[in-house]
Structure 1
Amino acid sequence: MTPSVASIQRHPLKAHGREALSAVTLVPGRGLPWDRHWAVAHEAAKLTEGEWGPCANFSIGSKAPKLTAIDARLDEATGTLTLHHPDAAEIVFRPDDAEDAARFLDWVGPLCPPERARPARIYSVADRGMTDTDYPSISLISLASNRALGEYMGLDLSPLRWRANFWIEGSRPFEERGWIGRRLRLGTAVIEVVEPQVRCLATTANPATGARDADTLKALRALHDDQDFGVYAKVIEAGTVSAGDVVELLP
Protein backbone atom coordinates (compact mmCIF):
# COMPACT_ATOMS: atom_id res chain seq x y z
CA MET A 1 0.00 0.00 0.00
CA THR A 2 1.38 3.38 -1.00
CA PRO A 3 1.51 5.76 1.97
CA SER A 4 -0.81 8.75 1.76
CA VAL A 5 -2.06 11.71 3.77
CA ALA A 6 -5.19 10.47 5.55
CA SER A 7 -5.95 13.72 7.41
CA ILE A 8 -4.63 17.26 7.86
CA GLN A 9 -5.21 18.88 11.25
CA ARG A 10 -4.45 22.30 12.67
CA HIS A 11 -4.80 23.70 16.18
CA PRO A 12 -5.36 27.47 15.90
CA LEU A 13 -5.26 28.05 19.66
CA LYS A 14 -2.55 25.81 21.12
CA ALA A 15 -4.03 22.92 23.17
CA HIS A 16 -7.54 24.34 22.76
CA GLY A 17 -9.12 22.48 19.87
CA ARG A 18 -8.37 20.86 16.54
CA GLU A 19 -9.75 21.41 13.05
CA ALA A 20 -9.58 19.13 9.99
CA LEU A 21 -8.49 20.69 6.68
CA SER A 22 -8.90 19.45 3.12
CA ALA A 23 -5.64 21.03 1.91
CA VAL A 24 -2.84 23.31 3.04
CA THR A 25 0.06 25.20 1.46
CA LEU A 26 3.42 24.79 3.18
CA VAL A 27 6.23 27.35 3.05
CA PRO A 28 9.91 26.72 3.90
CA GLY A 29 10.89 27.88 7.36
CA ARG A 30 7.27 28.05 8.53
CA GLY A 31 4.92 25.73 10.34
CA LEU A 32 1.42 24.79 9.21
CA PRO A 33 -0.46 28.06 8.51
CA TRP A 34 -2.48 29.17 11.57
CA ASP A 35 -1.37 26.14 13.58
CA ARG A 36 -0.73 27.13 17.22
CA HIS A 37 -1.09 30.72 16.02
CA TRP A 38 -2.27 31.66 19.50
CA ALA A 39 -1.57 30.13 22.89
CA VAL A 40 -3.03 30.67 26.36
CA ALA A 41 -0.36 31.99 28.72
CA HIS A 42 -1.00 31.15 32.38
CA GLU A 43 -0.43 33.40 35.38
CA ALA A 44 3.05 31.97 36.08
CA ALA A 45 4.31 32.36 32.49
CA LYS A 46 7.76 33.82 31.89
CA LEU A 47 7.67 35.01 28.31
CA THR A 48 9.80 37.43 26.32
CA GLU A 49 7.29 39.55 24.44
CA GLY A 50 7.42 39.08 20.69
CA GLU A 51 9.31 35.79 20.92
CA TRP A 52 8.42 32.11 20.83
CA GLY A 53 7.99 30.50 24.25
CA PRO A 54 8.16 26.86 25.41
CA CYS A 55 5.01 24.98 26.36
CA ALA A 56 5.69 25.31 30.13
CA ASN A 57 4.33 28.87 29.83
CA PHE A 58 0.95 27.82 28.48
CA SER A 59 -2.25 26.05 29.45
CA ILE A 60 -1.92 22.60 27.86
CA GLY A 61 -3.55 19.19 27.95
CA SER A 62 -0.91 17.56 30.13
CA LYS A 63 -1.91 19.92 32.97
CA ALA A 64 -5.58 20.44 32.07
CA PRO A 65 -6.83 17.22 30.42
CA LYS A 66 -10.35 18.55 29.79
CA LEU A 67 -8.86 20.87 27.16
CA THR A 68 -8.19 17.85 24.92
CA ALA A 69 -11.95 17.52 24.19
CA ILE A 70 -12.23 20.92 22.50
CA ASP A 71 -13.08 21.17 18.80
CA ALA A 72 -12.16 24.32 16.86
CA ARG A 73 -13.16 26.16 13.71
CA LEU A 74 -11.26 29.19 12.45
CA ASP A 75 -12.50 31.87 10.06
CA GLU A 76 -9.18 33.08 8.67
CA ALA A 77 -10.67 36.15 6.98
CA THR A 78 -12.00 37.62 10.24
CA GLY A 79 -9.68 35.94 12.76
CA THR A 80 -12.74 34.51 14.48
CA LEU A 81 -12.46 31.25 16.39
CA THR A 82 -15.34 28.95 17.34
CA LEU A 83 -14.71 26.43 20.13
CA HIS A 84 -16.92 23.61 21.34
CA HIS A 85 -16.55 21.39 24.40
CA PRO A 86 -18.98 18.69 25.59
CA ASP A 87 -19.15 20.35 29.03
CA ALA A 88 -19.46 23.97 27.88
CA ALA A 89 -21.57 26.08 25.56
CA GLU A 90 -20.06 26.97 22.20
CA ILE A 91 -18.05 30.18 22.17
CA VAL A 92 -17.34 32.40 19.16
CA PHE A 93 -14.63 35.03 19.68
CA ARG A 94 -11.68 36.87 18.16
CA PRO A 95 -8.52 36.03 20.10
CA ASP A 96 -6.90 39.35 19.10
CA ASP A 97 -9.78 41.36 20.56
CA ALA A 98 -9.29 42.23 24.25
CA GLU A 99 -12.97 41.98 25.23
CA ASP A 100 -13.38 38.71 23.34
CA ALA A 101 -10.21 37.32 24.93
CA ALA A 102 -11.64 38.13 28.37
CA ARG A 103 -14.84 36.28 27.49
CA PHE A 104 -12.76 33.30 26.42
CA LEU A 105 -10.84 33.25 29.71
CA ASP A 106 -14.15 33.15 31.59
CA TRP A 107 -15.29 30.29 29.34
CA VAL A 108 -12.15 28.17 29.64
CA GLY A 109 -11.55 28.71 33.36
CA PRO A 110 -13.93 25.93 34.53
CA LEU A 111 -12.15 23.45 32.22
CA CYS A 112 -8.83 23.99 34.02
CA PRO A 113 -7.89 22.38 37.37
CA PRO A 114 -8.12 24.96 40.18
CA GLU A 115 -4.78 23.86 41.66
CA ARG A 116 -2.91 24.70 38.44
CA ALA A 117 -1.71 28.12 37.28
CA ARG A 118 -4.78 29.85 35.88
CA PRO A 119 -5.14 30.95 32.24
CA ALA A 120 -4.26 34.66 32.14
CA ARG A 121 -4.06 35.90 28.54
CA ILE A 122 -3.85 34.96 24.89
CA TYR A 123 -0.33 35.20 23.47
CA SER A 124 0.88 35.28 19.87
CA VAL A 125 3.91 36.20 17.79
CA ALA A 126 3.77 37.42 14.19
CA ASP A 127 4.51 34.66 11.65
CA ARG A 128 5.42 32.11 14.32
CA GLY A 129 3.23 29.41 15.81
CA MET A 130 3.73 28.32 19.41
CA THR A 131 4.94 24.84 18.43
CA ASP A 132 6.44 22.54 21.05
CA THR A 133 9.76 22.91 19.21
CA ASP A 134 11.98 25.98 19.32
CA TYR A 135 11.94 26.02 15.51
CA PRO A 136 8.89 26.22 13.19
CA SER A 137 7.77 22.63 12.75
CA ILE A 138 5.02 20.40 11.49
CA SER A 139 4.18 17.04 13.02
CA LEU A 140 3.31 13.64 11.58
CA ILE A 141 1.91 10.40 12.98
CA SER A 142 1.36 6.98 11.43
CA LEU A 143 -2.14 5.54 11.67
CA ALA A 144 -0.62 2.04 11.50
CA SER A 145 1.45 2.86 14.59
CA ASN A 146 -1.64 4.21 16.34
CA ARG A 147 -3.54 1.00 15.60
CA ALA A 148 -0.62 -1.16 16.72
CA LEU A 149 -0.35 0.72 20.02
CA GLY A 150 -4.10 0.44 20.52
CA GLU A 151 -4.03 -3.30 19.86
CA TYR A 152 -1.24 -3.71 22.40
CA MET A 153 -3.31 -1.79 24.95
CA GLY A 154 -6.58 -3.50 24.01
CA LEU A 155 -8.13 -0.14 23.20
CA ASP A 156 -9.43 1.77 20.18
CA LEU A 157 -7.17 4.85 20.35
CA SER A 158 -8.29 7.98 18.55
CA PRO A 159 -5.49 9.56 16.47
CA LEU A 160 -6.65 12.90 17.88
CA ARG A 161 -4.79 12.05 21.10
CA TRP A 162 -1.51 12.90 19.36
CA ARG A 163 -2.46 16.42 18.12
CA ALA A 164 -0.49 15.90 14.89
CA ASN A 165 -0.74 17.97 11.71
CA PHE A 166 -0.56 15.08 9.26
CA TRP A 167 -1.91 11.55 9.69
CA ILE A 168 -0.13 9.09 7.40
CA GLU A 169 -1.85 5.91 6.22
CA GLY A 170 -0.12 2.98 4.49
CA SER A 171 3.27 2.89 6.23
CA ARG A 172 4.36 -0.02 8.42
CA PRO A 173 3.75 0.23 12.18
CA PHE A 174 6.42 2.45 13.76
CA GLU A 175 8.26 2.82 10.42
CA GLU A 176 8.35 6.59 11.03
CA ARG A 177 10.95 6.02 13.74
CA GLY A 178 13.41 5.41 10.90
CA TRP A 179 12.54 8.64 9.10
CA ILE A 180 14.72 10.87 11.30
CA GLY A 181 17.10 12.78 9.02
CA ARG A 182 15.18 11.73 5.89
CA ARG A 183 13.13 13.81 3.48
CA LEU A 184 9.53 13.14 2.50
CA ARG A 185 7.41 14.50 -0.29
CA LEU A 186 3.86 15.30 0.80
CA GLY A 187 1.83 16.32 -2.23
CA THR A 188 4.11 18.87 -3.91
CA ALA A 189 5.88 19.93 -0.70
CA VAL A 190 9.12 18.47 0.66
CA ILE A 191 9.81 18.16 4.38
CA GLU A 192 12.79 16.96 6.41
CA VAL A 193 12.11 14.85 9.50
CA VAL A 194 14.12 16.27 12.39
CA GLU A 195 13.32 14.40 15.60
CA PRO A 196 10.81 12.19 17.40
CA GLN A 197 7.97 13.60 19.46
CA VAL A 198 8.44 12.80 23.13
CA ARG A 199 4.95 12.38 24.55
CA CYS A 200 3.37 13.74 27.72
CA LEU A 201 0.28 13.15 29.86
CA ALA A 202 -1.95 14.92 27.33
CA THR A 203 -2.07 11.72 25.28
CA THR A 204 -3.59 9.79 28.19
CA ALA A 205 -6.80 11.85 27.90
CA ASN A 206 -9.73 10.81 25.73
CA PRO A 207 -10.25 13.53 23.07
CA ALA A 208 -14.00 12.91 23.14
CA THR A 209 -14.41 13.51 26.88
CA GLY A 210 -11.21 15.05 28.24
CA ALA A 211 -10.95 12.28 30.86
CA ARG A 212 -7.67 10.43 31.38
CA ASP A 213 -8.50 6.85 30.46
CA ALA A 214 -5.45 5.23 28.77
CA ASP A 215 -1.84 4.96 29.92
CA THR A 216 -0.27 5.60 26.53
CA LEU A 217 3.08 6.51 28.10
CA LYS A 218 3.40 3.20 29.97
CA ALA A 219 2.52 1.31 26.78
CA LEU A 220 5.10 3.21 24.72
CA ARG A 221 7.79 2.54 27.32
CA ALA A 222 6.89 -1.15 27.32
CA LEU A 223 7.11 -1.37 23.53
CA HIS A 224 10.09 0.88 22.84
CA ASP A 225 11.65 1.89 26.15
CA ASP A 226 10.83 5.53 25.43
CA GLN A 227 7.81 7.86 25.16
CA ASP A 228 8.22 8.71 21.47
CA PHE A 229 5.26 8.71 19.10
CA GLY A 230 5.28 10.60 15.81
CA VAL A 231 7.90 12.94 14.41
CA TYR A 232 8.62 16.64 13.97
CA ALA A 233 9.70 17.96 10.57
CA LYS A 234 10.78 21.18 8.86
CA VAL A 235 9.38 22.37 5.54
CA ILE A 236 12.19 22.36 2.95
CA GLU A 237 10.34 23.02 -0.33
CA ALA A 238 7.06 24.89 -0.72
CA GLY A 239 4.03 23.05 -1.98
CA THR A 240 0.40 22.14 -1.49
CA VAL A 241 -0.71 19.09 0.45
CA SER A 242 -4.22 17.68 0.17
CA ALA A 243 -5.92 14.84 1.99
CA GLY A 244 -5.32 11.71 -0.09
CA ASP A 245 -1.99 12.88 -1.52
CA VAL A 246 0.81 10.33 -1.84
CA VAL A 247 3.66 10.39 0.70
CA GLU A 248 7.07 9.53 -0.80
CA LEU A 249 10.24 8.81 1.14
CA LEU A 250 13.03 10.49 -0.84
CA PRO A 251 16.53 9.06 -1.34
Structure 2
Amino acid sequence: MTTVTQLFRHPLKSHGREELQTVALTAGQAMPYDRLWAVAHDHSKADGSEWAKCVNFSIGTKAPKLAAINAVLHPDGETLTLTHPDRPDLSFRPDSEGARLIEWVQPLVPEDRAQPDRILRLTGRGFTDTDYASVSLCNMASHRAVEGKAGTDLSNLRWRGNIWFDTGLPWDELDWIGKDVTVGGAVLRVREPIRRCLHTAANPATGERDVDTLGLLNTWDHQDFGVYAEVIRSGPVATGDKVELT
Protein backbone atom coordinates (compact mmCIF):
# COMPACT_ATOMS: atom_id res chain seq x y z
CA MET A 1 0.00 0.00 0.00
CA THR A 2 1.29 3.46 -0.92
CA THR A 3 1.09 6.00 1.90
CA VAL A 4 2.04 9.60 2.59
CA THR A 5 5.58 9.68 3.99
CA GLN A 6 6.11 13.43 4.44
CA LEU A 7 4.26 16.73 4.10
CA PHE A 8 5.86 20.14 3.54
CA ARG A 9 4.78 23.71 3.02
CA HIS A 10 6.91 26.68 1.96
CA PRO A 11 5.31 29.79 3.48
CA LEU A 12 7.68 32.27 1.80
CA LYS A 13 8.41 31.14 -1.76
CA SER A 14 12.03 29.87 -2.15
CA HIS A 15 12.82 30.97 1.42
CA GLY A 16 12.50 27.83 3.50
CA ARG A 17 10.38 24.74 4.04
CA GLU A 18 8.44 23.46 7.02
CA GLU A 19 7.53 19.83 7.64
CA LEU A 20 3.98 19.06 8.76
CA GLN A 21 2.18 16.01 10.13
CA THR A 22 -1.32 16.97 9.00
CA VAL A 23 -2.92 19.43 6.61
CA ALA A 24 -6.43 20.26 5.42
CA LEU A 25 -6.63 20.65 1.64
CA THR A 26 -9.35 22.77 0.04
CA ALA A 27 -10.68 22.32 -3.49
CA GLY A 28 -9.28 24.91 -5.87
CA GLN A 29 -6.55 26.08 -3.50
CA ALA A 30 -2.91 25.32 -2.88
CA MET A 31 -1.75 23.73 0.36
CA PRO A 32 -2.61 26.19 3.17
CA TYR A 33 0.14 28.81 3.61
CA ASP A 34 2.24 27.28 0.83
CA ARG A 35 3.96 30.11 -1.11
CA LEU A 36 1.50 32.49 0.56
CA TRP A 37 4.24 35.13 0.42
CA ALA A 38 6.99 35.75 -2.12
CA VAL A 39 9.96 38.12 -2.31
CA ALA A 40 9.71 40.36 -5.36
CA HIS A 41 13.06 41.64 -6.66
CA ASP A 42 13.95 45.17 -7.72
CA HIS A 43 13.13 44.52 -11.41
CA SER A 44 9.80 42.78 -10.74
CA LYS A 45 6.51 44.15 -12.01
CA ALA A 46 4.45 42.01 -9.63
CA ASP A 47 2.27 43.91 -7.14
CA GLY A 48 0.49 41.08 -5.29
CA SER A 49 -2.90 41.72 -6.88
CA GLU A 50 -2.65 38.54 -8.95
CA TRP A 51 -0.47 35.52 -9.59
CA ALA A 52 2.89 36.22 -11.24
CA LYS A 53 5.58 34.04 -12.82
CA CYS A 54 8.69 32.91 -10.93
CA VAL A 55 10.85 35.33 -12.93
CA ASN A 56 9.41 38.13 -10.77
CA PHE A 57 10.78 36.74 -7.51
CA SER A 58 13.98 36.00 -5.65
CA ILE A 59 14.38 32.24 -6.06
CA GLY A 60 17.03 29.57 -5.60
CA THR A 61 17.71 29.30 -9.32
CA LYS A 62 19.42 32.70 -9.15
CA ALA A 63 20.51 32.63 -5.50
CA PRO A 64 21.42 29.05 -4.50
CA LYS A 65 22.15 29.96 -0.86
CA LEU A 66 18.39 30.41 -0.37
CA ALA A 67 18.12 26.60 -0.57
CA ALA A 68 19.54 26.28 2.97
CA ILE A 69 16.72 28.25 4.63
CA ASN A 70 14.29 26.49 6.95
CA ALA A 71 10.98 28.05 8.00
CA VAL A 72 8.51 27.79 10.86
CA LEU A 73 5.14 29.51 10.62
CA HIS A 74 3.86 30.43 14.08
CA PRO A 75 0.33 29.43 15.21
CA ASP A 76 -0.89 33.00 14.63
CA GLY A 77 -0.40 32.45 10.88
CA GLU A 78 1.29 35.85 10.62
CA THR A 79 4.75 35.37 12.14
CA LEU A 80 7.52 33.47 10.40
CA THR A 81 10.88 32.29 11.78
CA LEU A 82 13.66 31.62 9.27
CA THR A 83 16.99 29.91 9.95
CA HIS A 84 20.12 29.56 7.80
CA PRO A 85 23.61 28.27 8.66
CA ASP A 86 25.18 31.61 7.65
CA ARG A 87 22.64 33.98 9.23
CA PRO A 88 21.18 34.62 12.70
CA ASP A 89 17.64 33.36 13.25
CA LEU A 90 14.96 35.80 12.16
CA SER A 91 11.38 36.04 13.43
CA PHE A 92 9.23 38.61 11.67
CA ARG A 93 5.77 39.38 10.32
CA PRO A 94 5.91 39.26 6.50
CA ASP A 95 2.91 41.56 6.05
CA SER A 96 4.33 44.43 8.10
CA GLU A 97 8.05 43.77 8.61
CA GLY A 98 9.26 43.02 5.12
CA ALA A 99 12.24 45.36 5.46
CA ARG A 100 13.66 43.13 8.20
CA LEU A 101 13.56 40.13 5.86
CA ILE A 102 15.17 42.08 3.01
CA GLU A 103 18.06 43.12 5.26
CA TRP A 104 18.46 39.55 6.56
CA VAL A 105 18.43 37.83 3.18
CA GLN A 106 20.56 40.36 1.26
CA PRO A 107 23.91 38.63 2.04
CA LEU A 108 22.55 35.38 0.56
CA VAL A 109 21.85 36.89 -2.86
CA PRO A 110 24.70 37.38 -5.39
CA GLU A 111 25.45 41.04 -6.08
CA ASP A 112 25.17 40.50 -9.85
CA ARG A 113 21.58 39.27 -9.57
CA ALA A 114 18.31 41.17 -9.16
CA GLN A 115 18.09 42.16 -5.50
CA PRO A 116 15.26 41.35 -3.06
CA ASP A 117 12.99 44.37 -2.74
CA ARG A 118 9.61 43.65 -1.11
CA ILE A 119 7.31 40.90 0.14
CA LEU A 120 4.01 40.21 -1.62
CA ARG A 121 1.08 38.13 -0.36
CA LEU A 122 -1.46 36.20 -2.44
CA THR A 123 -4.13 34.76 -0.17
CA GLY A 124 -5.74 31.42 -1.05
CA ARG A 125 -3.87 30.20 -4.09
CA GLY A 126 -0.40 31.51 -3.23
CA PHE A 127 2.50 32.15 -5.61
CA THR A 128 2.75 28.54 -6.80
CA ASP A 129 5.05 27.74 -9.71
CA THR A 130 1.99 27.14 -11.90
CA ASP A 131 -0.64 29.58 -13.14
CA TYR A 132 -3.25 27.55 -11.25
CA ALA A 133 -3.37 26.68 -7.56
CA SER A 134 -1.31 23.50 -7.42
CA VAL A 135 0.01 20.94 -4.95
CA SER A 136 3.17 19.04 -5.81
CA LEU A 137 3.36 15.25 -5.43
CA CYS A 138 6.75 13.52 -5.22
CA ASN A 139 7.78 9.87 -5.18
CA MET A 140 10.64 8.66 -2.96
CA ALA A 141 11.26 5.81 -5.39
CA SER A 142 12.16 8.39 -8.05
CA HIS A 143 14.37 10.19 -5.55
CA ARG A 144 16.26 6.96 -4.84
CA ALA A 145 16.76 6.47 -8.58
CA VAL A 146 18.40 9.90 -8.81
CA GLU A 147 20.53 9.12 -5.74
CA GLY A 148 21.65 5.90 -7.39
CA LYS A 149 22.91 7.71 -10.48
CA ALA A 150 24.50 10.43 -8.36
CA GLY A 151 26.37 7.78 -6.38
CA THR A 152 25.74 9.60 -3.11
CA ASP A 153 22.99 10.27 -0.58
CA LEU A 154 20.81 13.26 -1.46
CA SER A 155 18.26 15.08 0.64
CA ASN A 156 14.77 15.01 -0.83
CA LEU A 157 14.43 18.64 0.32
CA ARG A 158 16.10 19.59 -2.97
CA TRP A 159 12.79 19.00 -4.75
CA ARG A 160 10.62 21.25 -2.54
CA GLY A 161 7.65 18.88 -2.76
CA ASN A 162 4.40 19.23 -0.82
CA ILE A 163 3.22 15.61 -0.53
CA TRP A 164 5.70 12.71 -0.51
CA PHE A 165 4.92 9.01 -0.92
CA ASP A 166 6.72 5.86 -2.07
CA THR A 167 5.24 3.63 -4.76
CA GLY A 168 8.40 1.52 -4.97
CA LEU A 169 8.61 2.22 -8.73
CA PRO A 170 10.68 5.16 -10.02
CA TRP A 171 8.77 7.62 -12.24
CA ASP A 172 5.49 5.82 -11.49
CA GLU A 173 3.94 9.23 -10.76
CA LEU A 174 4.51 10.44 -14.34
CA ASP A 175 1.90 7.89 -15.46
CA TRP A 176 -0.68 9.58 -13.20
CA ILE A 177 -1.06 12.65 -15.43
CA GLY A 178 -4.71 13.17 -16.32
CA LYS A 179 -5.85 10.88 -13.51
CA ASP A 180 -7.34 11.45 -10.05
CA VAL A 181 -5.57 10.34 -6.91
CA THR A 182 -7.04 10.04 -3.43
CA VAL A 183 -4.70 11.22 -0.70
CA GLY A 184 -6.18 10.76 2.75
CA GLY A 185 -9.57 12.46 2.68
CA ALA A 186 -8.80 14.64 -0.35
CA VAL A 187 -8.89 13.98 -4.08
CA LEU A 188 -6.40 15.60 -6.45
CA ARG A 189 -6.33 15.67 -10.25
CA VAL A 190 -2.81 15.29 -11.63
CA ARG A 191 -2.17 17.92 -14.29
CA GLU A 192 1.45 17.85 -15.48
CA PRO A 193 5.03 16.84 -14.68
CA ILE A 194 7.28 19.26 -12.80
CA ARG A 195 10.13 20.34 -15.07
CA ARG A 196 13.02 21.03 -12.77
CA CYS A 197 15.32 24.05 -12.58
CA LEU A 198 18.81 24.76 -11.25
CA HIS A 199 17.49 25.29 -7.71
CA THR A 200 17.68 21.51 -7.24
CA ALA A 201 21.47 21.52 -7.70
CA ALA A 202 21.93 23.30 -4.36
CA ASN A 203 22.50 21.35 -1.18
CA PRO A 204 19.64 22.20 1.24
CA ALA A 205 22.03 21.96 4.20
CA THR A 206 24.63 24.42 2.84
CA GLY A 207 23.13 26.31 -0.08
CA GLU A 208 26.08 25.30 -2.26
CA ARG A 209 25.58 23.71 -5.69
CA ASP A 210 27.15 20.28 -5.42
CA VAL A 211 25.21 17.87 -7.69
CA ASP A 212 24.22 18.18 -11.36
CA THR A 213 20.62 17.19 -10.73
CA LEU A 214 19.46 18.39 -14.14
CA GLY A 215 22.11 16.35 -15.90
CA LEU A 216 21.10 13.29 -13.89
CA LEU A 217 17.41 13.75 -14.76
CA ASN A 218 18.21 14.12 -18.44
CA THR A 219 19.78 10.65 -18.48
CA TRP A 220 16.14 9.50 -18.41
CA ASP A 221 15.42 11.74 -21.42
CA HIS A 222 13.43 14.21 -19.36
CA GLN A 223 14.04 16.94 -16.78
CA ASP A 224 11.03 16.10 -14.64
CA PHE A 225 10.66 15.20 -11.00
CA GLY A 226 7.23 14.94 -9.40
CA VAL A 227 3.88 16.12 -10.69
CA TYR A 228 1.57 19.09 -10.17
CA ALA A 229 -2.00 18.38 -9.13
CA GLU A 230 -5.16 20.35 -8.36
CA VAL A 231 -7.29 19.68 -5.30
CA ILE A 232 -10.76 18.77 -6.59
CA ARG A 233 -12.23 17.47 -3.32
CA SER A 234 -11.45 19.00 0.04
CA GLY A 235 -10.26 16.82 2.88
CA PRO A 236 -7.63 16.19 5.56
CA VAL A 237 -4.26 14.60 4.78
CA ALA A 238 -1.79 13.20 7.30
CA THR A 239 1.42 11.22 7.19
CA GLY A 240 0.57 7.54 6.96
CA ASP A 241 -2.61 8.16 4.93
CA LYS A 242 -3.29 6.01 1.88
CA VAL A 243 -2.39 7.28 -1.61
CA GLU A 244 -4.25 5.57 -4.46
CA LEU A 245 -5.43 6.22 -7.98
CA THR A 246 -9.22 6.50 -8.25
1-structure distance, mates of 2:107, 2:190: 38
On the 8 A contact 2:36/2:127 being kept in 1, the answer is: yes
Instruction: Write the mapping of 1:29-178 to structure 2, written as runs, cut at 5 A.
Output: 29-97=28-96, 100-178=97-175
Identity %, equivalent residues: 53
2-structure distance, mates of 1:171, 1:196: 18
2-structure distance, mates of 1:60, 1:132: 11
Q: TM-score, normalised by structure 2?
A: 0.98
2-structure distance, mates of 1:45, 1:140: 29
Specify whether residues 35 and 78 from structure 1 end up closer, same or farther in structure 2 by C-alpha distance, changes over 3 A only.
Answer: closer
**Match for residue 197 of structure 2?**
200
2-structure distance, mates of 1:189, 1:179: 16
Shift of 1:135: 0.3
Shift of 1:49: 4.3
Q: Deviation per CA, 1:62-93, whole angstroms, max 9, x where unpaired?
A: 10000000000001415000000000000000
Task: Write the letter of the residue equivalent to 1:216.
Answer: T
2-structure distance, mates of 1:63, 1:220: 20
**Match for residue 12 of structure 1?**
11
SS of the residue corresponding to residue 193 of structure 1 reads strand
Q: How many equivalent residue pairs?
A: 246
Q: Which runs of 5+ in 1 are unaligned?
A: none
Q: Deviation per CA, 1:139-168, whole angstroms, max 9, x where unpaired?
A: 011001001111011121111000010111
2-structure distance, mates of 1:199, 1:85: 23
Instruction: Write the mapping of 1:207-246 to structure 2, written as runs, cut at 5 A.
Output: 207-223=204-220, 225-246=221-242
Q: Which moved more, 1:195-204 or 1:167-176?
A: 167-176
2-structure distance, mates of 1:48, 1:129: 13
Q: TM-score, normalised by structure 1?
A: 0.96
Shift of 1:126: 2.7
On the 8 A contact 2:138/2:225 being kept in 1, the answer is: yes
Q: Which runs of 5+ in 2 are unaligned?
A: none
Q: CA-atom RMSD, angstroms?
A: 0.9
SS of the residue corresponding to residue 19 of structure 2 reads strand
